Every structure is written in C-alpha cells, then in structure tokens.
Structure 1
Amino acid sequence: MTESKLLVAVIATGGTIASERDETGVAKPSLTGENLLSDVSKSDVQVKPIELMAKDSSSLTLADMQTISDAVGRELADPEVSGVVILHGTDAMEESALLVHLQHSLTKPVIFTGAQFTADHPQADGPGNLSAAIAASVDPSNTEKGVLLSFGGKLLPAWGLYKRSADEPDAFDLSGHAICPESPGFTGTVKDIRIDIVAIYPGCDAAHIDASLEAGAKGIVLAGLGSGNANTLIVDALNRCRESDVPVVVSSRVPVGELVAGYGGGGGGYDMGAAGAIHSRTLRAGQSRILLAAMIASSKKRADMADAFGDFQKMAKS
C-alpha cells in the first residue's frame, strides 16, 4: 500500500515569479501556478494550485491583500492541507505576509515566496525558491514561527521583514531583532481602510499630512528621519491629527535598527510622542501601514496600538 503524500496548497497571485518578457522586453505576469509547479520537483508532496490573481505586487491594494489573507484562511481551515505556499511579487511581499500573520493563528506552516528574476531569465530563481518554500511548508516545526518568507536561501519571519535589494537573489532581510510575536488574530477586514504614508525629509512642511487628513485617511504613517524624527511643523500637524482622532505612527526611512523616540529639540521623536504620535520600534513604513490598518479595522485603542508597535512587549536580542 502506497503511503499518501502530504498536500500543499500553492496560492498564485502573480509577481515576477510568474512573469515572462514580451516582444518589447516588458515583464508581465503570464504564468499560472500550475505552469510554475510543472518545473518544480515535488515527489514527496502533492500540490493543489490555486489561481487567485495575476498581478504585479506594486499594483496590489489593501483589498487585494485582504483577498490573499482570506484565501490563506480557507486553506488553513482545510484539514487535508498540510501547508500553504503563496507565490507573490517582491515589491509588496512584506506587507501581504504581515497581514496574513496578523489575521491568522497558524495550525500549519504558511510560506511566502517569489522571485527577483523572470521565469524566462537565464538566472531564474523562482523554481529554487518555490522548491524551498514547498519543503518549508511541510515541516511542522515552522508552524510556531508564524508566517515565513522562503527566499534566496533564507527563511525569515514576517515581522520586521523588508526588501533590501532590487537586483540580488538574496533580496530580503529584517529591520530589527524583535522576536516575531504570536498572531493577535485581528478579525477586521482592511479592504476599506485608508492609511497614508508620508515621507519626512529635511525642510519638509506638513502639506502632505494635511492632504491626507483632507482625503479622509483613517491613519497616517510617517517615514521619519533617523530614529523617527522630523521638525516643528510636523509636530504642529500631529496636534491637528489628534484633534481629528487620526492616529499617527512614526517609523523611519532608515532600513535597519531599533527605533527609539529619544530626541527633542522641538521636532524629534520625543516631541512627536508628546503630540500623540505612536513610535514604531521595529516595523518600517510599509509594514507599519499594514499593522495600523489591521488595528483600526479591528477597533483597537491607542494603548493597544502603542503596545503593538512596541513589538507587543516581546522584544529580545538575538
């Protein structure tokens, strides 16, 4: 009697891993999940391809990311499925992976993967990444690690994930050393939540913050300078955000390192905190937007947000 194979659900969403270049040299998603799986050795497992969407991740909306998260939830609920792999573009990989982590308490491994090079590139990295992701998805020990990214020979947690390179196979890293917190199991859908990211730069004013308020943003993330700093004009704008009951999270344009609200001077991180802003310890702007959206969608209070952006008080140095 032949031993039954483990079943892995492979959710295809598009991205470079599913892209080929047309006659003009432009890369576009054109391959299905079934196409991609045909080139991957999977003798030890049975795969179930799910054709969810075919998009470059740069064009994904929060509604699309919610669709991806919902699809993962359905596979987690299927007792026949042993693991879930999501094929995804690299531009927004860190955002979708974090949303799935925030919304689902895992009962089996969930692994994101993708590619830096198109499927028809001489150095195509998609097949190798996909093979590694499938292997990771049937290792039960990966369940307790939360949502993971398998990419370029690394297996990284979703919390603090960021894309560090636009042209290297080893494309991702972590912004800090926080232990990936357990999923809070947020239940609110983010598809209709508008969260804007505002870039802070030397000499900037608050025009973009005021525009976000005018546009009806439910929350704002600042990509601050250094450890999350700005200037007095931005601090003044934070008071207007507080009056409008719009939460503001301060992150940084610096990719790596723990962010500490230690500077004053009228426009530093300490001053922004005094004006009501929430400082993100680990998450950079893209992931901060996802966490803030998920918390607003789940009707969380400011104190809960401060705890979450402090890594749910589960910081530990590696």
Structure 2
Amino acid sequence: MIAVSKKPLVAIIATGGTIASERGANGASLPSLGGDSLLGNLPDIGVDLKAIDLMAKDSASLTLADMQTISTMVKELLADASVDGIVVVHGTDAMEETSLLVQLQNVLTKPVIFTGAQFTADHPQADGPANLAAAISAATERSNAERGVLVCFGSRTYPAWGLYKYSATDTDAFRQSRTEENPQFHFPENVDHLRVDILAIYPGCDSVFVDASLAAGANGIVLAALGSGNATPAIVDAVRRCTERRIPVVISSRVPEGTLTASYGGGGGGHDLDQAGAIHSANLRPGQARILLATMIAGEKTDQLQEVFG
C-alpha cells in the first residue's frame, strides 16, 4: 500500500486590518472581509487551511483585552494537535504589539506567523495576498517554531522582538531594532485588566501627562523619550512620584534605532531618570515596551524589569 502524505493544516486567525478592508462609498476603508474571503484570493498552495474569524478591527483600535483575545486563541491552536502552523492576519498599526504579546505569553510548539497589508483588498496594488501566501508558507516550516513569533511582510521575515513599523506607505513596512533572535521570556498571565500608558516627551515638557496618567489609575507608564532616553527636570520629579507609589516607569525613545543608555545628566537626562527609579528599555521602542511592561506587571515580575529590559 502506498502511503499518502497528509497536507499540513495551517489555521488562519482573521482579526481585521487593512488586508481585510475595502473602501466604502464614503471613501473610508473598513475591515469587511472574513478569513474565507481572504483565502479565496489565494492560488492553490498545497496546504489545508482553516479560517477563524476572531474579530474585524483596525489594529489602531485594539485594546489590551483584544490583544489578549488573540494571544489566547493562539494558545488554543498551539494545543490543537491537528494544526501544524498558525497565521495571524492583523493590522499593521499594532502588529508589533500583538505579535510580541503572543511571543511573551506562549511557548511555541509550532510556527506562529503574523502578516497583513499596506493596501486594501480592493486596491489595484493590493499586497495582502502575496503577504498571506508567504506567511502560510512560513507556517509550514516546523523549524520556524524555534525562532519564536515571526512577522512575514513585504518579502521579509522578522522575529517579533524589537520590531517596529517604519513606513506608513511602503509595502516593505517593518524594521527591527536588533538583529538577534527572539529572547524567550515567558509571562503567561492575562493583561486585559491593566492600564499601561505611553506618554510622549518633548523639549521643555512638564509633568501634566504623567500626573494625569497616575490619576487615571495607570498600572505602569512608558515614556517615549528624546534621544537615548532623555526628558526634563519636571519629568524626573514625576518619575520620583511614580516610584514612591510603586508605579513602574520604563524609558523608551522616539528615535527608532540604537541602544538606549542612561548617560546624560543636567537634571532631566537619562542618568537622572535612572536615579529617580525609571528603567531604560535598551532596544524596545514604546509600543513593544508597553507590552513587555504589561506582561511583567501581570506576572508580578517588576523586580526583574532591569534585567529583562536591559
């Protein structure tokens, strides 16, 4: 008897985003295509596919609870022995955040690949089908599970750790702030009950936003600081108040590349922020720093912030 090899089964989690969007009569693009519609645009690629319509949202509107829902679905599919690989179809605005959350909360036993698009499904230059086909192919390579969560986009494949969106228009939309493989930290507790704010620092800014965040009940704060992680004397004073209240503050930067160092003084520099109790994120930019901070707060691991963010 001739053995018939089984085709790999790849689960496609549809969450919305530009890849699932079409332009309406009013000119606005909205997610309107489910998983089956997305798969219908693909040629036969020799893989069995299972579409799961989880949500239909622009990723800019995703809450931590939504991201947790996606991560929980990935966890369920990782436990499903019939599934060989997982693709998450996602909007690009928050792909770096959700992919990192999935990375942090799950031990991968099979490939998990994120993808999306820069152009809507009805755009004459739609890039979604090519990205989705490439992601499905990557999800069938079992060795990819060892690399952690991956993002397959614009003919490139990146580990989730350190990822950021660098272009609002190019089809090759992502870059990575470090080239090493994904660090394998594991913080499985749910983050859907947390509030972690990102606050933009600008030259001469005061502490109004930090104080407002504290008043709103933030569990943690990420500062999108200047340069290598610098702010102002007023922000340093605000960080001290956060430290006194045991609210962790992580310093990231609006600069997309380079390692952050707590070296400047002058009353508001990175060294002063460090002395006030803030933790510098060496490589993660604000969006991903927020996700890592949230997972560590949820897991009551804030005593490890210096080690993990460094």
Name the TM-score, length of structure 2 as normaliser: 0.98
Deviates more, 1:143-152 or 1:262-271: 262-271
Q: Does the CA contact (< 8 Å) of 2:85 and 2:112 recur in 1?
A: yes
Corresponding position of 1:19: 21
Deviation at 1:179, TM superposition (A): 3.7
1:298 corresponding residue in structure 2: 299
1:301-316 mapped onto 2 (5 Å cutoff):
301-302=302-303, 304-310=304-310
Distance (whole Å) between structure 2 residues aligned to residue 131 and residue 176 of structure 1: 26
State the percentage of identical aligned residues.
61
SS in 2 for 1:149: strand
Structure 2: 5+ residue stretches without partners: none
Corresponding residue number in structure 2 for 1:217: 218
Q: How does 1:128-277 map to 2 (within 5 A)?
A: 128-182=130-184, 184-277=185-278
Q: Comparing 168-177 with 237-246, which one deviates more in the overlay?
A: 168-177
CA offsets 1:33-82 (integer angstroms, 9 cap, x no match):
11010111243210110010000001100000000000000000011111
Number of the residue aligned with 2:290? 289
Distance 2:216 2:133 in 1: 44
- Structure 1 residue 177: Cα displacement: 3.6
**Counterpart AA for 2:200:** A
Equivalent residue pairs, number: 308
Q: Which residue of 2 aligns with 1:316?
A: none
Q: 1:36 aligned to 2:38?
A: yes
Say whether the 8 Å CA contact 1:9–1:83 is kept in structure 2. yes
The answer to whether structure 1 residue 97 and structure 2 residue 99 are counterparts is yes
| Counterparts of 2:72 and 2:302, CA distance in 1 | 24
User: Retained in 1: the 8 A contact 2:251–2:278?
Assistant: yes
Alignment partners' CA distance in 2, 1:42 and 1:229: 52
After superposition, give the CA deviation of every residue in 1:228-271 in whole Å (9 maximum; x if it has no partner).
00111111111100111100000000011111111111111111
Query: How far is the alpha carbon of 1:216 from its aligned partner?
Result: 0.5
Shift of 1:198: 0.7
Deviations 1:288-317 (A, max 9, x none): 000000000011133x1111111xxxxxxx
**Which secondary structure does the structure 2 equivalent of 1:81 belong to?**
coil
Asked whether the 8 Å contact 2:147–2:181 carries over to 1, the reply is no
* Contact 2:87/2:114 (8 A) holds in 1: yes
The alpha carbon displacement at 1:3 in A equals 2.2
Asked if the contact 2:248–2:302 (Cα under 8 Å) also holds between the matched residues in 1, the reply is no
Partner secondary structure for residue 53 of structure 2: strand
Deviations 1:178-231 (A, max 9, x none): 44201x221211001000111100010000001101110000000000000011
Name the CA distance, whole Å, in 2 between partners of 1:288 and 1:185.
15
Q: Where in structure 2 are the equivalents of 1:37-52 lying within 5 Å?
A: 37-52=39-54
Deviation for aligned residue 1:2: 3.6
Look up the match of 1:313. none
Report the residue type matching 1:289 in the other structure: R
CA RMSD of aligned residues (A): 0.9
Rounded to whole Å, the distance in 2 between the matches of 1:19 and 1:166 is 16
- 8 A Cα contact 1:42 1:131, kept in partner: no
Scaled by the length of structure 1, what TM-score is found? 0.95
Once superposed, which parts of structure 1, at least 4 consecutive aligned residues long, lie more than 3 Å away? none
User: Which residue type is aligned with residue 217 of structure 1?
Assistant: A
> Partner residue of 1:5?
7
Q: Does 1:81 align with 2:83?
A: yes
The answer to whether the 8 A contact 2:112-2:150 is kept is yes
Q: For 1:66-122, what per-residue CA distance to the aligned partner results, in whole angstroms no more than 9, with x for missing partners?
A: 000000000000111110000000000000000000000100100000000000000
CA distance in 2 between counterparts of 1:203 and 1:108 reads 48
C-alpha separation in 1, matches of 2:142 and 2:180: 23
Q: From the superposition, tell whether residues 42 and 276 of structure 1 become closer, same or farther in structure 2 (CA, over 3 Å).
A: farther
> What letter matches 1:212 in structure 2?
S
